[in-house]
Copies of this chain bind each other. A is one copy, B any other.
Amino acid sequence: MRFSARNILSGTILKVTRGATTAHVVVEVAPGRILTASITTEAVDDLDLRVGMAVAAVIKASDVMIAID
């Protein structure tokens, strides 16, 4: 499958934190570079996401902001 989303960063799951309906999944996409995803707990179960798994973090370009000092 290929996406229109411009940002697809492969990485490894470092941590999964579950709430009642929302879970946070922390992914290392490069040495010392981590991304946190906030997804449904349903998705965590559906994809059986666990620490150590190889995944991709997918982000639409319109959801990326730029900041400067």
Knowing A20-B19, A20-B20, A33-B29, the reply to whether A68 touches B9 (Cβ < 8 A) is no
Within 8 A of B (CB), among A50-66: 53-66
Within 8 A of B (CB), among A21-69: 21-25, 27, 29-31, 33, 35-40, 42-44, 46-47, 49, 53-69
A interface, size bucket: 35 or more
Q: Point out residues on A near B: beta carbons under 8 Å.
A: 1-9, 17-25, 27, 29-31, 33, 35-40, 42-44, 46-47, 49, 53-69
Contact status B3-A58, CB under 8 Å:
yes
Please measure, in the bound complex, the distance between the C-alpha atom of A49 and the C-alpha atom of B69, giving whole angstroms.
12
